[in-house]
Amino acid sequence: MLRFLLILGCAFFTSLVNSQINSQNSVTADSLDYYLFQSFLAADSQKRISLNHIGIQGKQLETGFLVTAVLEGYPAHTIGLNRGDLITSVDGEPFHSVNTFNSERDVNGAFTPITRKHQLTFQRNDTTIKVSVLPVFENLFDSYRSATSNSVLEFSAGNKSIGYVRFWALSRGTNDLINYQELIASLDHCDGIIFDLRNSFGYLDSQHLDLVFNNKDNYFIVTEPPGRNYDFADLSSNLRFENYRKPIALLLNEDTRGGTELFAHQLAKLQRVITIGSATAGKIGRFRIKNEFATAPIEYQPATEVFIDGILFEGLGIEPDLSVQFPYETTTRGDPQYDAAVNALLGII
């Protein structure tokens, strides 16, 4: 049983943020994505590379670094950076997502922690804002795991209670699976939940599905050469907690990839689930890295022969039930996809 889980996880339940991917489907060590993927591919926690960062995703433009997502509880979130902001400089120099905060290394070649604040300048609409920021020194596996826990919210809408959790990443680790169970259990009394899977990735485990499903009869089936079938229902263990059985709104976008795409694929089978946002990428292939400490590119290998429920998923992705576009370059405040999820839940519960 464990062997199947490892095969599935390593084979195609990883994601790819393609803002830094070149034509050879590889990501290099001068991008945050490299350290994100490396931290999930590392054989153990000691081999995950720590670096100074402020907790953002984004893409490099000629005019600066466009923030596409901000991790809850991390420096960028604390100083008020938002999705759509454009970072132009740090300490008067052009901003680079890795090199700006990681110019120094120790005798072993590892990055050196930053101990002083830096002056960060960013553009929001026509306004230039300057703030002081102190990066954290941490591997991105731990950062994305913490941001998921930090994201949990509960609020009232009318006379209804709605929960919210942003699954920045899915992990198969035992402690993480227990944490997911505790997160869902803490929101079990809510009339509905928003699962935010935007900009997310990771490994999918059958126990992620068990958080929501009480009937495993329609868990998806994976087919890969040479004619191997894996039924996720056969991989599930018996639950020791009550799974969530009320309405769910799933937020998706073009950077929902890998394990979280397949999580959304399965959840969409439930009549009490509505998917909202923009189409996902259809990226369920595998990463290949020869040495966790090397700076050689991490290669992405598309899952061009893997079928999910009889469908070739790679390159196809998921079209949401309710299409709500929210381009990264949008400069108006607010989150139309999130607002649509709240309204959709209120129409169901």
Q: How far apart are CA 197 and CA 150, in angstroms?
A: 15
Residue-level pLDDT at 293: 62
Decide if 235 is inside a domain: yes
How many domains, in total, are found in the chain? 2
Q: Would the pLDDT of 10 be above 60? A: no
CB 264 within 8 A of CB 281: no
- pLDDT at 8 exceeding the cut of 60: no
Burial of 62: CB neighbours in 10 Å, binned 0-12, 13-18, 19+: exposed
Whole-angstrom distance, CA of residue 26 vs CA of residue 278: 25
Mean pLDDT of 129-138: 98
- Quick check: is 76 in a domain? yes
pLDDT in tens, 153-203: 999 998 999 999 999 999 988 899 999 999 999 999 999 999 999 999 888
DSSP character string of 243-281: PP-S-EEEEE-TT--THHHHHHHHHTTSTTEEEEES---
List the one residue out of 35, 37, 89 whose CA is nearest residue 287.
37
Q: Indicate whether 186 and 319 sit together in one domain.
A: yes
Alpha-carbon gap, residue 237 to 240, rounded angstroms: 9
3 pLDDT higher than 80: no
Kindly state whether residues 116 and 229 are assigned to the same domain.
no
Residue 107, burial from CB neighbour count under 10 angstroms (0-12, 13-18, 19+): exposed
Q: Which of 104, 138, 172 is the last residue of a domain?
A: 138
293-349 pLDDT per residue, tens: 667 899 999 999 999 999 999 999 999 999 999 999 887 778 999 999 999 999 999
Together in a domain, 154 and 285 = yes
> Is 90 exceeded by the pLDDT of residue 20?
no
Percent of the chain past pLDDT 90, that is, above it, reads: 73
Locus of tokens 């102190």: 134
As a whole number, mean pLDDT of residues 254-267 equals: 95
The verdict on residue 25 lying in a domain is: no
The per-residue DSSP string of 147-180 comes to HHHHT-EEEEETTEEEEEEE-SEE---HHHHHHH
**Per-residue model confidence as pLDDT tens digits over 28-66:** 999 999 999 999 988 899 999 999 999 999 999 999 999
